[in-house]
Amino acid sequence: MCGFNICFCCPCTWLTCVVPSRQMVREQYVTTTQGSSSPRPVPDHVYKIGIYGWRKRCLYLFVLLLIIILVINFALTIWILRVMWFNTEGMGLLQVHSDGVKLQEGESEFLFPVYAQEIHSREDSSLLVHSSENVSLNARNENGNVTGRISVGPKEAQGHTRNLLINSHNDNMLFTADGDQAVIGPDKLRVTGPEGALFQHSVEVPLLKSELLKDLRLESPTRSLSMDAPKGVHIKALAGNIEAASNMDIILQSSLGLLVLDAETVRMPSLPLSEGGVSGSAQSLYEVCVCPSGKLFLSKAEVISTCSENQEC
């Protein structure tokens, strides 16, 4: 291999040093003064310092490629800014304020869960939440545990919470429910289904009535029906009849009070008739006596009436 030593020149002296390996060192010193026009000797071998040839072309090509990449990146940045509508207030119709994020127009689509403290619609439109599967709203505590959940799906809607409370626009309670009971706030509960309302257990209501021009039916298909009230049970039909039908016995019983049938006419059309001419002991026979007040009592039957003798009016 060959090695070279290159010496640099000062302002007043041109020095060229060529040191080939396996050769003697040859040095030429030429001193020139100002105003001298004597020609300088030309060295036999001059070695240039720099990048030439294919290396220079590759360097220029690499610099050109970098410039092209920078221009493309700058153009893509400008295009993204124009397409996304970035401005000083936000991104297009989505504006970022100190109190939250506001969407002026259009629809918002979220591909992942959204965490927000409040979600409001615009003043002139309603809030619509749409999903192809279901919409779920979860409430969490400071530990991240779910304390309440509402899920609306294509087949059912579910809610999980300790206490359910529904209020009206004027903050009046409409409905509340917990693990022990359900309370309906309005003065009237209306059931419009053709089959009515089905209760598996007891029902406590202050008033039970039907709609106008429709019948009221209380029915227990396979068991008994009981109506209890500490201060009385009132059954009233203002424009119709009250009928009580039973396959067995109908018992009207009062422990301490009276049984009052207040009507212009009291009929018992299906009472059995006894056969005349049959003699027997009259000790087991009684006659029904009626007082002027309408009170009924029994008296032992004899040949003549004994109601006046055993009067208990």
Q: What is the pLDDT of residues 115-126, one digit of tens each?
A: 877 787 777 778
| Model confidence at 43: pLDDT above 50 | yes
Amino acid residing at 5:
N
Structure confidence at residue 301 as a pLDDT band (50, 70, 90): confident
As a whole number of angstroms, the distance between CA 307 and CA 311 comes to 6
Supply the pLDDT for residue 187. 78
As a whole number, mean pLDDT of residues 177-205 equals 81
Percent of the chain at pLDDT exceeding 70? 79
Structure confidence at residue 44 as a pLDDT band (50, 70, 90): low
Structure confidence at residue 41 as a pLDDT band (50, 70, 90): low
| Model confidence at 245: pLDDT above 50 | yes
Strand ranges across the sheet with 164-167: 164-167, 173-177, 182-184
Structure confidence at residue 30 as a pLDDT band (50, 70, 90): very low
291 compared with 40, residue with greater pLDDT:
291
| Model confidence at 140: pLDDT above 80 | yes
Q: Among 153-167, 202-216, 299-313, name the most confident range.
A: 153-167
Strand ranges across the sheet with 157-160: 135-140, 146-152, 157-160
CA nearest to 93, candidates 105, 82, 84:
105
| Model confidence at 182: pLDDT above 80 | yes
| Model confidence at 10: pLDDT above 70 | no
Q: What is the largest CA-CA distance in the chain?
A: 186
Structure confidence at residue 64 as a pLDDT band (50, 70, 90): very high
pTM above 0.75, yes or no: no
Supply the pLDDT for residue 38. 58
CA nearest to 198, candidates 183, 176, 217:
217
| Model confidence at 2: pLDDT above 60 | no
Supply the pLDDT for residue 303. 79
CA-based torsion, 262, 265, 270, 272: positive or negative: positive
Which 3 state secondary structure label does DSSP give 247? coil
Contact 28, 41 (CB under 8 A): yes
As a whole number of angstroms, the distance between CA 95 and CA 116 comes to 16
As a whole number, mean pLDDT of residues 233-237 equals 79
Cβ contacts of 89 within 8 Å, gap of 6 or more: 95, 96, 97
Structure confidence at residue 61 as a pLDDT band (50, 70, 90): very high
| Model confidence at 67: pLDDT above 90 | yes
As a whole number of angstroms, the distance between CA 30 and CA 131 comes to 92
Q: Which token pair is 189?
A: 């509960």
CA nearest to 129, candidates 144, 108, 147:
108
211 compared with 47, residue with greater pLDDT:
211
Q: Which token pair is 144?
A: 């991240």
As a whole number of angstroms, the distance between CA 95 and CA 93 comes to 6
CA nearest to 23, candidates 4, 51, 44:
4
Helix (H) or strand (E) holding 69: helix 54-84
CA nearest to 94, candidates 111, 116, 79, 109:
109
Supply the pLDDT for residue 46. 61
Supply the pLDDT for residue 60. 92
281 compared with 152, residue with greater pLDDT:
152
CA nearest to 227, candidates 201, 246, 202, 250:
202
Contact 215, 208 (CB under 8 A): no
As a whole number of angstroms, the distance between CA 168 and CA 174 comes to 6
